[in-house]
Chains A and B, each alone.
Chain A
Amino acid sequence: METLEHILAEHPFFTGLESYYTSLLVGCAANVRFNAGTYIFKEGEEANEFYVIRAGKVALEIFAPQRKPIILATLGEGEILGWSWLLPPYQWKFHARAVEDTRALALDGKCLREKCEQNHDLGYEVLKRFCQIVEHRLEATRLQLLDVYGSRG
């Protein structure tokens, strides 16, 4: 049976992280499952965790008045869901809905924040990894905004 430590160590997000740090993170991790159609979190709720998606698919959604919710992006196996736990005011900015049955590791954000405060080396490693995700998502969002397949595309 795969241990949480093994799962974390094998995940690309944690590649290169010293085993000591992985052990620290395991203390904040738990296995979770979401059935298709379930909301994992909703905009405005407290953001106290992030998820390492192991299987399935999650849609990030935003809603506007008198419109159906808009899917901004989908995230699948191997991806990280959520970074609002990292920065005040620790509130989700979007909805996240399981499009398919989804398995993930949930990492307790409060627990992780405390460990990062106590150990800044760990904090820096975690921040570097999240910055990379933020950078990729920002680039993808900018490209999406260009609407390259529109009439001028």
Chain B
Amino acid sequence: MATVAANDPMLPQPHRVRQVVKETPDTFTLTLEPSDGAGSSPFRPGQFSMLWVFGVGELPISISGHPAEPDRLVYTVRSVGSATHAFVGHEAGDSVGVRGPFGTGWPVEAARGRDVIIVAGGIGLAPLRPVIYEVLHNRNDYGRLVVLYGARSPRDLLYRKELAAWARQRDTQVLVTVDYGGLSWRGHVGVVTTLFKYARLHPARSVAMVCGPEIMMRFVTRELETHGLARADIYLSMERNMKCAVGFCGHCQYGPHFICKDGPVFPYEQMRPLLEKYEL
């Protein structure tokens, strides 16, 4: 009989749900900790895990917690299908299987000494939150932090208290917009690209990290280039249907790349020709 190695990437490690926080009407943040009391594997901002919802299925979800706190894994999940619905329905104490972390991370090391521009759309803020934590945790190692965040409506905004807290940090500019605002909304209304005119950017010394729906990223990269950012300084997080997470199954193939293994974070220059292809 074949034995299974403890570090087999296909073997889920049992974790327990520690906390569930409702972020928006359909989006929840779950904090997990290893059931055996041992620490989880350290992760890099931008990496993802495969989460087993026992009896339902497995989900690829970006880690949205603090990289300096690897003893707990944090995931923000939008309930859009049966597996995500089951996942966000967990309660404290429930068991979940975790594989990973997998994939490439955001270039936080390469960004040291430079300004960091974060552009997020919708749930895309979740995979970028660890970068914000990393920059604020090592504040003197980075230049200016600019966060541009767009959501569908005020009630769909993630991490509202944190956004306000980040905006109060030194050398940090946080701009938030919504596509549809009610009369009680006092903030910006318009797509995320409309925030660029209010951002104080220094393109020559900046690295931009972008995550959101692909079409939004296409418009954002154009805007970044218009504002003088070099293509080589722009990074995107891509999403496809990830299954095995280790590049075996091919479900997440995107052109010549496997999103799970070669990504999900890619240099824009690598993604640019693919982003312009129809129906890819």
Is A64 part of the contact surface with B, judged by Cβ < 8 Å? Answer: no
Interface residue B277 (Cβ < 8 Å from any Cβ of A): no
B203 beta carbon closer than 8 Å to chain A: no
> Is A68 a contact partner of B151 (Cβ separation < 8 A)?
no
Tell whether, in the assembled complex, residue B185 and residue A71 are in contact, meaning their CB atoms are under 8 Å apart. Answer: yes
Number of interface residues of B (CB under 8 A): 29
Question: Could you say which of A69, A100, A144 contacts B179, with CB atoms under 8 Å apart?
Answer: A144
Asked if A148 and B213 sit within 8 Å, CB to CB, the answer is yes
Complex interface bits, A54-94 against B, C-beta within 8 A gives 1, otherwise 0:
00010100000000111111101111000000000000000
- CB neighbours of B121 from chain A (8 A): 148-149, 153
Looking across the interface, which residue of chain A has its beta carbon closest to that of B190?
Answer: A73
* Docked-complex contact A71 and B181, CB < 8 angstroms: yes
The CA of A74 and the CA of B186, in the complex, are separated in Å by 9
A16 interfacial contact with B, CB 8 Å:
no
CA distance A88 to B185 in the complex (A): 33
B212 adjacent to A76 (CB under 8 Å): no
A residues in contact with B188, CB < 8 Å = 57, 74, 76
User: How would residues 139 to 150 of chain A score, 1 for a CB under 8 Å from any chain B CB and 0 otherwise?
Assistant: 110011011111
A99 within 8 A of B: yes
In the complex, the number of residue pairs spanning A and B with C-beta atoms less than 8 Å apart equals 70
| A148 and B216 contact, CB distance less than 8 A | yes
Which among B152, B187, B189, B197 has the greatest number of chain A C-beta atoms within 10 A? Answer: B189
Interface residue tally on A, bucketed by range: 20 to 34
Judged by a CB distance under 8 angstroms, whether A151 is at the interface is: yes
CB contacts (< 8 Å) of A76 on chain B: these are 188, 198
Distance in angstroms between the alpha carbons of A59 and B180 in the assembled complex: 12
Q: Which residues of B contact A151 (CB under 8 A)?
A: 80
Which among B151, B179, B186, B219 has the highest number of chain A CB atoms within 10 Å? B179
Whether B156 is near chain A, meaning CB under 8 Å from some CB there, is yes
Query: How many whole Å from A126's CB to the nearest CB in chain B?
Result: 20
Determine if B193 and A153 form an interchain contact, defined as CB atoms under 8 angstroms apart: no
* Cα–Cα distance between A79 and B191 once the two chains are bound (Å): 15
Residues from chain A with a CB closer than 8 A to the CB of B150 are 149
List chain A residues, Cβ under 8 A from B187.
74
Which residue of chain A lies nearest to B198 when distances are taken between CB atoms in the complex?
Answer: A76
Q: Are A59 and B189 in contact (CB under 8 A)?
A: yes
A148 and B183 contact, CB distance less than 8 A? no
Shortest C-beta distance, B96 to chain A (Å), equals 24
Q: Scoring B residues 125 to 153 as 1 if CB is less than 8 Å from chain A, else 0, what string do you get? A: 00000000000000000000000001110
Report yes or no: B179 in contact with A71, Cβ–Cβ below 8 A.
no
**Selected contact of A140 from candidates B151, B183, B194, B212, CB within 8 Å:** B194
Complex alpha-carbon distance, A77 and B197, angstroms: 9
Are A147 and B179 closer than 8 Å at their CB atoms? yes
Contacts A73-B189, A140-B193, A153-B213; A68 near B198 (Cβ below 8 A): no
Q: Are A71 and B182 also in contact (CB < 8 A) when A143-B216, A144-B191 are?
A: yes
List residues of B (136-180) whose CB comes within 8 Å of A's CBs.
150-152, 156, 179-180
Q: For window 103-139 of chain B, which residues contact chain A by CB distance below 8 Å?
A: 121-123
Give chain B residues whose Cβ lies under 8 Å from the Cβ of A153. Answer: 121-122, 152, 213
Instruction: Report which A residues bind B (CB closer than 8 A).
Output: 57, 59, 68-74, 76-79, 99-100, 139-140, 143-144, 146-151, 153
Known: A79-B197, A153-B122, A153-B152. 16 other contacts (CB 8 A): A57-B188, A59-B181, A71-B182, A71-B189, A72-B189, A74-B190, A76-B198, A78-B197, A99-B186, A139-B193, A143-B191, A144-B179, A148-B215, A149-B121, A149-B212, A151-B80
